Chain A
Amino acid sequence: MLDIEDCLTDILAIPGALDALVIEDTGGTAVAMGRASAQLDPQAAAGALSRTLHATIDGLAVASPAGTVRVEDVIVTSDQGHHLLRPLETPLTGPVLLYLRLDLERANLALARHRLRAAASRLTAR
């Protein structure tokens, strides 16, 4: 059993973790963040990441043979690092997003993805 702060602590303990955000997806609102670089505005980032996820989902839905899609996570690699976005359905509220940015050199992407999934499932105990 984890609360949101514990979940963030877990995520930031992932090797190579740079920034992490917990985002309330309905409003695109940052609810908690960890160790963000000074330039990162969490509210602006939260809204933008929420839109990024939804644009990706929309695109993939159209591109999928079934026309619908269930995205488990989104991984984008850029010059700024690996970006992991994981949507999370919670029984008591609307969707929540976990965001993690990883250092390109130090991170193990497969491990990070696995541990982000584990942190998410412990947060909702599912």
Chain B
Amino acid sequence: MPSVQRLEDALTGLAGERVTGSLKVGRAGTVYLSGGRVTYVESPSTPGPRDAGTPPGEPPPTEGELQLGVLGATMDAAFFVLAATGARHRFTEGERHRYGDHWYFDVPALFQECRRRRARLDQVWPHPEADSRPVLLAPRTTAQRVVLTPVQWEVLLGADGTATPLDLARRLGRPAYAVLLAVRRFGAAGLLREPPSGTPVTGVGELPKRAGRARPYADRSSAPARPPESGSSAEAMNGQVRAAEPGPRSGQGAAAQPGPEARPGTAPAPQAGTEPEAERGTGTTPGPGEATEALPGLGLGVPAVSGDSTDVSVLIRLRDALERLL
């Protein structure tokens, strides 16, 4: 299988051939198919259902629990594995996951779900850089009251200034996507602290994503957040869904469509294509230095101020960060 093939094309092809086997996606993880439908996705970045914890001595899980566990773990892992770009794919005919088949996901629905989840993160707080850098919580808040979700509570206790959201997800045994969401919510609530001024690299590099009108970087080329193409694929996460009929409306409306940077067909900036693989695909946590290397040619370190919208965004963010420190 040519490694240059897009993962979505590769999986769509395998689904069309109704194959059974496993597709290894570089170091990002593995997709298991049965009869052309996805039965499981695993990723080293995300905890599987076992890691999410059946305490010893508990009765064995019921079929319902197994199904729910496989469902949750697969959608969590798919969010990272299906976003991997530039990874080599290797298909192994006939290989099945040791959990067996408990649930079936249609390939297009799984991709659509991943796009929807990514859009939802940006809806909460449009700062993708928060997904990969250490979680730094503000020491104080001006809010009179803060309401936390249980995952936020655990993140709050677990954040040690060096752990990234994916590190925390592994430590807490929580779905990685739930931790990303918790951290974005902290950001939206003004409870995140900016990284120290010595390491603004990731943030600066990521900024064009937010201010991306003028310069659409292909940061999400891995999971191009296209508008839903058809309502029917959104209807069913799996073949068992008893949708009465696949209504024609996609229904997600604006909610499913993230910011302007996610338009399909925008020319991918070549240098940005390596980045999601670096930070999401492998689950490594790029330090500031590595991030610099992953984002060449963006004028890192000292941004050249030219008054364009990107620089203005940098200044606004710096100002916000300084105000938060006061």
Q: Is the CB of A27 within 8 A of B147?
A: no
Contact A3-B241, Cβ < 8 Å, known A26-B177, A41-B247: no
- For A37, the chain B residues whose CB sits under 8 A away are 244
Q: Is the CB of B250 within 8 A of A90?
A: no
- For A42, the chain B residues whose CB sits under 8 A away are 234-235, 241, 243
Which of B12-20, B47-55, B85-93, B297-305 contacts the other chain? B47-55
Count residues of A near B (Cβ-Cβ below 8 Å): 43
Tally the A-B contacts, defined by beta carbons under 8 Å: 147
Q: Is the CB of A41 within 8 A of B231?
A: yes
Within 8 A of A (CB), among B113-172: 113, 116-117, 120, 145, 147, 149
- A33, A54, A58 interface centre (most CB from chain B within 10 Å): A33
- A2, A3, A6 interface centre (most CB from chain B within 10 Å): A3
Taking CB as reference atom, which chain A residue is nearest B102? A3
**CB < 8 Å: which of A34, A92, A125 contacts B72?**
A92
Q: Mark B261-292, 1 if CB is under 8 A from A, else 0.
A: 00000000000000000000000000000000
B322 within 8 A of A: no
Closest Cβ of chain B: how far from A41's Cβ, in Å?
Answer: 3
A84 within 8 A of B: no
Contact A43-B252, Cβ < 8 Å, known A1-B62, A1-B64, A2-B64: yes
Closest Cβ of chain A: how far from B120's Cβ, in Å?
Answer: 7
Q: Is the CB of B120 within 8 A of A28?
A: yes
Q: Is the CB of B234 within 8 A of A92?
A: no
Chain B, interface size category, equals 35 or more
B175 within 8 A of A: yes
Taking CB as reference atom, which chain B residue is nearest A59? B147
Contact A29-B59, Cβ < 8 Å, known A1-B64, A8-B242: no
Closest Cβ of chain A: how far from B90's Cβ, in Å?
Answer: 28
Within 8 A of B (CB), among A74-100: 90-94, 96
**CB < 8 Å: which of A32, A35, A43 contacts B244?**
A35
- For A41, the chain B residues whose CB sits under 8 A away are 231, 234-235, 247, 249-252
- For B237, the chain A residues whose CB sits under 8 A away are 29-32
> In the docked arrangement, what's the CA distance between A28 and B177, Å?
11
- For A62, the chain B residues whose CB sits under 8 A away are 145, 147
A124 within 8 A of B: yes
Taking CB as reference atom, which chain A residue is nearest B153? A68
A109 within 8 A of B: no
**CB < 8 Å: which of B58, B147, B247, B251 contacts A61?**
B147
Within 8 A of B (CB), among A1-52: 1-8, 24, 26-44, 47
Closest Cβ of chain B: how far from A121's Cβ, in Å?
Answer: 11
- For A7, the chain B residues whose CB sits under 8 A away are 64
Taking CB as reference atom, which chain B residue is nearest A43? B234
Q: Is the CB of A35 within 8 A of B72?
A: no
Closest Cβ of chain B: how far from A116's Cβ, in Å?
Answer: 15
A104 within 8 A of B: no
- For B68, the chain A residues whose CB sits under 8 A away are 4, 24, 90, 92-93, 96, 123-124
Q: Mark B81-121, 1 if CB is under 8 A from A, else 0.
A: 00000000000000000000001000000000100110010
B73 within 8 A of A: yes
- A8, A24, A38, A43 interface centre (most CB from chain B within 10 Å): A43
**CB < 8 Å: which of A1, A5, A35, A94 contacts B178?**
A94
What are 20 A-B contacts defined by CB distance under 8 Å? A2-B62, A2-B63, A3-B62, A3-B63, A4-B64, A24-B72, A27-B117, A31-B241, A33-B243, A38-B244, A38-B245, A41-B252, A42-B234, A47-B252, A47-B255, A92-B65, A92-B66, A92-B68, A94-B72, A124-B64
Not counting A41-B249, A123-B62, a sample of 11 additional A-B residue pairs whose C-beta atoms are within 8 angstroms of each other reads: A1-B64, A2-B62, A4-B240, A33-B241, A33-B242, A38-B245, A43-B235, A44-B255, A93-B68, A93-B73, A94-B52
